[in-house]
Amino acid sequence: MTDTATIRPGHGPQLLIDAPILQTLEAWRREAAVLRSRAPSSDALCTLEGNIVALAEAVDQGRAADAWVPSAEAARLRGCSASLIRKLASKGQLTAQKRGGTWVIHRDSILAPATVAA
């Protein structure tokens, strides 16, 4: 069994719990390698590999969710008004989506140097 989720430290938003989780995943992967060599068809190996994939996917989902912030938070991060953020979003000058009537802005778009004028 192989991981379907890719976890690379230093790529994208970092969750506060990244380091301990990544350390745990690496420890589990080492344990899985040992189990694979000793008992390749064991239930313990299947369970451990399933847990590794589930945890890796959960981290990826957390990172993806953390990448989008509401317009008010985007304004705070960029040091401007929320109305300017909404205006830039509606013009397509920020990577943004409207979710339930609220603009959410991708964090990379907010932190990029401003190259457009409102």
**Environment class of residue 102 by beta-carbon count within 10 Å: exposed (0-12), middle (13-18) or buried (19+)?**
exposed
Q: What is the pLDDT of residue 15?
A: 47
| Confidence (pLDDT) at 80 | 92
Position 10 scores a pLDDT of 44
Is 60 exceeded by the pLDDT of residue 116? no
Which ranges of the chain would DSSP assign to H, the alpha helix? 18-38, 43-66, 71-78, 82-90, 107-111
Mean pLDDT over 63-78 rounds to 84
Q: How confident is the model at residue 113 (pLDDT cuts 50, 70, 90)?
A: low
Distance of CA 14 to the CA centre of its chain: 7
- pLDDT for 32 beyond 90: yes
Residues 76 and 96 in one domain: yes
Domain that holds residue 76: 68-111
Measured CA to CA, the distance from residue 63 to residue 57 in angstroms comes to: 10
pTM equals: 0.47
Q: How many domains does the chain have?
A: 2
Asked, for residue 99, whether it belongs to a domain, the answer is yes
